[in-house]
């Protein structure tokens, strides 16, 4: 992802997991602390061109990482977060925070982006698309994502993304295909 994607590597997380862990949105934390740290009121994310609010929550590292930035460290953080998230979904409330805190520290190098409570109905971002795919696949609704960038530093064009997928033997799905599958009665309820 780091070499071929080039964009920010992030965890897309289902809103149920977000709620169980009591994860805050960074935007809310900044607003709440702006009296003590006025810089946050000047950095308010109230002008995002593509949405009403940022999906970013906390940034984490697994406690067994060193710096947290190496490929190995980020892979360990992502893998264990998905495993812990699966456990959290099965736990009664109260123990999730202990489990989460025992495994992770913040700040870290892997951002968590929380999908909206109604993915692909009220928001159609990368987090919602990834979480919808995970739910439809019947696995823990956590995915590691990264937007692909071209050599010009801009988002990779659709035709270049299709060519990349073909060259590397990967499937290529458009967001509208995921949304269409998600709209089936089984998922839209």
Across the chain, which has 189 residues, the per-10-residue mean pLDDT values are 91 94 91 91 79 87 96 97 92 80 96 92 90 95 94 93 96 94 77
Residue 157 lies in a domain: yes
The CA–CA distances, whole Å, from 5 to 26, 81, 151, 154 equal 25, 21, 11, 11
In a domain, 56, yes or no: yes
Show the tokens assigned to 90: 């099965």
pLDDT at 131: 95
Q: What is the pLDDT of residue 169?
A: 96
Which domain range does residue 48 map to? Answer: 6-188
The predicted structure's pLDDT at residue 93: 62
- pLDDT number for residue 119: 82
**Residue 115 covered by a domain:** yes
| Amino acid 102: pLDDT | 95
Q: Please indicate, yes or no, if residue 1 is contained in any of the structural domains.
A: no
Q: What residues pair up with 61 in beta bridges, in sequence order?
A: 105
Examine residue 50 and state whether it is found in any structural domain, yes or no: yes
Q: Where residue 61 sits, what CATH number does that domain have? A: 3.90.870.10
Examine residue 83 and state whether it is found in any structural domain, yes or no: yes
| Spatial contact of 110 and 10, defined as CB atoms under 8 Å apart | yes
How many distinct structural domains can be found in the chain?
A: 1
pTM to 2 decimal places: 0.91
Residue 129 has what pLDDT? 95
Q: Residue 105 in contact with residue 61, Cβ under 8 Å?
A: yes
């Amino acid at each position: 992802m780091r070499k071929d994607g080039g964009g920010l590597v992030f965890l897309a997380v289902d809103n149920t997991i977000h709620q169980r862990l009591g994860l805050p949105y960074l935007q809310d934390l900044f607003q709440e602390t702006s009296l003590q740290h006025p810089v946050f009121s000047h950095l308010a994310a109230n002008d995002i061109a593509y949405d009403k609010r940022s999906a970013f929550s906390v940034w984490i590292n697994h406690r067994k990482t060193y710096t947290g930035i190496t490929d190995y460290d980020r892979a360990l953080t992502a893998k264990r977060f998905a495993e812990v998230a699966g456990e959290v979904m099965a736990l009664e409330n109260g123990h999730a925070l202990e489990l989460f805190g025992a495994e992770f520290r913040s700040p870290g190098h892997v951002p968590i982006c929380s999908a909206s409570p109604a993915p692909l109905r009220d928001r159609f971002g990368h987090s919602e698309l990834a979480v919808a795919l995970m739910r439809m696949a019947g696995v823990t609704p956590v995915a590691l994502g990264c937007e692909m960038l071209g050599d010009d530093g801009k988002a990779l064009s659709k035709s270049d993304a299709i060519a990349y997928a073909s060259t590397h033997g990967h499937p290529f799905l458009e967001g509208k295909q995921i949304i269409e599958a998600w709209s089936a009665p089984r998922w839209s309820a």
